[in-house]
Amino acid sequence: MKKPKKINKLRLKVLKGKLDTYGQTGEYNELLKQREGKYVEITPYDPYSKNIRRFFEGAVVDYFQLQHFQYSTKENKYVRVPRDYVRKMLKREFNGEYIPTLSGKFVREGKSTKDLGKDQFDAFIKRITHYMESNGLMIPYSDDYNAWIETSPKLKEVYPPLKDLLEWSETKLKELNANYG
C-alpha cells in the first residue's frame, strides 16, 4: 500500500461560515488524519489580483529592462539585459532568500511570486519601484497601467509610455555603443 503524501499546506476558502475544500476534500481529510491531536495554524490569505500580476509582467519588468544595459562580448556591443534575466534578477533582488551551498557559502536565489498574498506582492512591487526611483530610473504607475488595460488594448498593443521609453532606450544604446566603439 502506498504511503500517503505528507501535507504541509492547504489553501481553503471560507464560504457561508464554513471551509470550502473546492475539490481538495481528499487532501483536507488526509491533513486532518496526519494532524490528529496536534495544532493546526489557520492564517488568512488574500491572493493577489490578476491586475497586479499583469502590471508586474506588462510594465514593471519592461520598464526595468529598457533602462538596464550590459556589454555583450559575443556581439561586441552594449545590449539590453534580456527580459527573462530581468524577471529572475527582480525576483532574486526583491523576493530572494539565502541558500547555503555545500562549501558553506550562501547564495541569494529568487523565490517564486506565485505564493505571495496581495500585501506581499504589493510590497514586492514597491521595493522594485523604490529602487528604480532612488536610482533615477523612470517608473510605471499601476493606476495608469490598469486604466489602460481597462480600455481593452489590442493584442500586441504596447502600453503608450513604454513606446516613449523604448525610443529613449534605443537612443541610449546608440550613445553607449558610439562612446565605446
Please report the pLDDT score of residue 114 as a whole number.
86
Please tell me the pTM assigned to this model. 0.74
Scored b (16 or more CB within 10 A) or e, 123-135 reads ebbeebbeebeee
DSSP state of 117: B
- The torsion angles phi and psi of 107, rounded to 5 degrees, stand at -120, 150
Domain ranges for the chain: 1-44, 50-180
Helix, strand or coil, per DSSP, at residue 170: helix
Which residue type occupies 65?
Answer: Q
Please report the pLDDT score of residue 73 as a whole number.
94
Q: Are strands 13-15 and 18-20 parallel, antiparallel or unpaired?
A: antiparallel
35-87: pLDDT as tens digits: 899 888 887 766 677 889 999 999 999 999 999 999 999 999 999 999 999 99
Share of the chain residues as helix, strand and coil, in percent rounded to the nearest 5: 50, 15, 40
Please report the pLDDT score of residue 120 as a whole number.
92
**Element at 94 (helix H, strand E):** helix 83-94
Pick the CATH number of 50-180 from 1.10.1740, 1.10.3470, 1.10.10, 1.10.3790: 1.10.3790
